[in-house]
């Protein structure tokens, strides 16, 4: 159910969309009732039983009043709690409609009676701090009802969640379903928000956003570039990858990256490692971690990966690779080195792949939301960046992309090593979009692994089987 979306917006941009609509003499109350009707359709088709709607003072509360009116018109048992008197003309009009229909409006006190379904119409998408009272207490009541298995429907955003940044303040509603309207809020697809939205449904309520520039784009396969091999292609024409990583005790990281690079298009993989006690995968060509040797193989390679399974003690090798004219994928140990080094913008192409902890080190432990974090990293170090996690962010080609994918099973050792290998593999074979192509491939492999899994969870190597 719901409409498809591609463009992603901040709350500020959505206000601009609304202003443009008002300039065309489109009624704010009409938009509110369209949103209410979209929510009504969902509830009427997918739920049964009594509905309690909790309405705040803004237009989010107005959506709730409009929904209550529509449910009452078809005979659904509905009760509405008014937390504060509405302050917006549209919300006041929707409340008056409820009064005319004879719907009982209760003033919020201190308790929340039992119901089958609760609708969160408390706070809008623009919240940027922890909810104040009485909203704080009401949200805690809704969290308690959710734990008891009750259905919680959030209108536009779960209250307490910032629709722009994805930050969930304490407390925030955990919804069964979130129905968001007009334009997709970018924050709902990443960060804390993914734990709070439940099933996310977008309803554009008949509005296009042609005049307002989106802050991010939803990643699809069509946004990726994969080179098609010519019939005459061979290992010498497909591009080689060199990996500095997978050192003694952490060989698995190098192996996973290497095999991933081959699976993604690399012709050969040179693996720089200091171990000789393993039965190496026969496809990987091992190289001693000596500068003279590494330089020889760098000259034979199109892309280099630095970091998977790389402990401290290899700084001289990293610096030489950093200064070598070769596209570089920086992960794990490579990112830890960069965060503590004096190096900043690299003169040659760079893709960094930090998770949240590594990203925090790169920006100096500042408390930033995910969007600010990736922008700050790029401003400091240049290059293109992937901020891993649910709703992975990709900053590539001066554009921000969001991968609308969340799978906690990927939070396991080796998953990031595979991503680094996939990026390097598609890059070495000529992809013009290696960052987002690598992320898309990683997601696709994860989906296939989930379907085939034989255990409760899967390990990183399952992605390659």
Q: Distance between CA atoms of 25 and 152, rounded to whole angstroms?
A: 34
Q: What is the mean pLDDT of residues 99-111?
A: 91
Determine, yes or no, domain membership for 199.
yes
Determine, yes or no, domain membership for 286.
yes
Model confidence band, residue 407 (pLDDT cutoffs 50, 70, 90) = confident
Residues 236 and 178 in one domain: no
pLDDT of 261 strictly over 70? yes
Q: Any idea what DSSP says for residue 168?
A: B
Q: Distance between CA atoms of 350 and 386, rounded to whole angstroms?
A: 11
pLDDT at 459: 86
pLDDT of 299 strictly over 90? yes
Listed range (122-131, 173-182, 297-306) with the worst mean pLDDT = 122-131
Sign of dihedral through CA atoms 152, 156, 160, 161? positive
The CATH number linked to 317 is: 3.40.1190.20
Residues 155 and 110 in one domain: yes
Of 57 and 453, the structure prediction assigns the larger pLDDT to 57
pLDDT of 233 strictly over 90? no
pLDDT at 237: 72
Q: What is the mean pLDDT of residues 42-65?
A: 96
For the full predicted model, state whether its pTM sits above 0.85.
yes
| Strand runs labelled E in 260-396 | 268-272, 284-287, 303-306, 328-330, 350-352, 384-387, 393-396
pLDDT of 181 strictly over 90? yes
Residues 261 and 407 in one domain: yes
Determine, yes or no, domain membership for 241.
yes
Residues 180 and 284 in one domain: no
Residues 33 and 107 in one domain: yes
Determine, yes or no, domain membership for 1.
no
Determine, yes or no, domain membership for 260.
yes
Determine, yes or no, domain membership for 437.
yes
Q: Which residues constitute the domain of residue 176?
A: 7-213
Residues 258 and 238 in one domain: yes
**Domain count across the chain:** 2
Residues 134 and 167 in one domain: yes
Q: Distance between CA atoms of 65 and 36, rounded to whole angstroms?
A: 8
The residue from 155, 185, 213 where one domain ends is: 213
| Strand runs labelled E in 206-298 | 216-218, 240-244, 268-272, 284-287
């Amino acid at each position: 159910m719901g409409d498809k979306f591609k463009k992603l917006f901040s709350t500020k941009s959505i206000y601009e969309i609304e202003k443009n609509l008002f300039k065309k003499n489109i009624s704010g109350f009409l938009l509110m009732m369209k949103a209410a009707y979209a929510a009504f359709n969902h509830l009427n088709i997918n739920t049964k039983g009594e509905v309690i709607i909790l309405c705040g003072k803004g237009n989010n509360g107005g959506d709730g009043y409009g929904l209550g009116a529509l449910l009452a018109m078809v005979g659904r048992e509905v009760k509405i709690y008014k937390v504060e008197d509405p302050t917006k003309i549209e919300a006041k009009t929707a409340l008056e409609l409820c009064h005319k229909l004879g719907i009982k409006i209760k003033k919020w006190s201190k308790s929340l009676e039992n119901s089958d379904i609760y609708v969160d119409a408390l706070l809008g998408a623009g919240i940027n701090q922890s909810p104040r009272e009485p909203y704080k207490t009401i949200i805690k009541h809704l969290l308690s009802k959710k734990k008891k298995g009750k259905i919680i429907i959030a209108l536009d955003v779960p209250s307490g969640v910032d629709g722009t940044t994805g930050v969930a303040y304490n407390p925030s509603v955990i919804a069964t379903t979130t129905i968001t309207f007009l334009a997709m809020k970018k924050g709902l697809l990443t960060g804390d928000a993914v734990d709070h939205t439940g099933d996310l449904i977008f309803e554009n309520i008949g509005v296009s956003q042609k005049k307002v520039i989106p802050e991010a784009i939803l990643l699809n396969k069509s946004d990726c570039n994969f080179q098609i091999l010519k019939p005459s292609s061979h290992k010498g024409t497909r591009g080689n990858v060199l990996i500095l990583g997978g050192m003694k005790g952490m060989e698995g990281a190098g192996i996973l990256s290497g095999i991933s690079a081959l699976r993604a298009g690399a012709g050969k993989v040179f693996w720089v490692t200091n171990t000789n006690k393993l039965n190496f995968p026969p496809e990987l060509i091992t190289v001693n971690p000596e500068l003279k040797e590494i330089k020889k193989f760098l000259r034979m390679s199109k892309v280099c990966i630095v970091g998977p399974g790389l402990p401290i003690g290899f700084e001289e090798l990293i610096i030489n690779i950093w200064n070598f004219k070769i596209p570089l994928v920086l992960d794990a140990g490579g990112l830890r080195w960069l965060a503590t080094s004096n190096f900043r913008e690299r003169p040659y192409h760079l893709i960094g792949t930090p998770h949240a902890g590594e990203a925090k080190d790169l920006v100096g432990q500042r408390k930033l939301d995910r969007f600010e974090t990736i922008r700050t990293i790029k401003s400091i170090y240049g290059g293109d960046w992937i901020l891993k996690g649910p709703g992975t962010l990709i900053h590539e080609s001066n554009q921000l992309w969001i991968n609308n994918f969340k799978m906690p099973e990927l939070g396991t050792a080796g998953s990031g090593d595979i991503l680094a290998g996939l990026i390097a593999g598609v890059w070495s074979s000529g992809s013009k979009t290696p960052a987002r192509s690598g992320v898309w491939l990683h997601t696709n492999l994860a989906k296939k692994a989930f379907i085939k899994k034989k255990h409760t969870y899967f390990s990183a190597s399952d992605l390659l089987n």
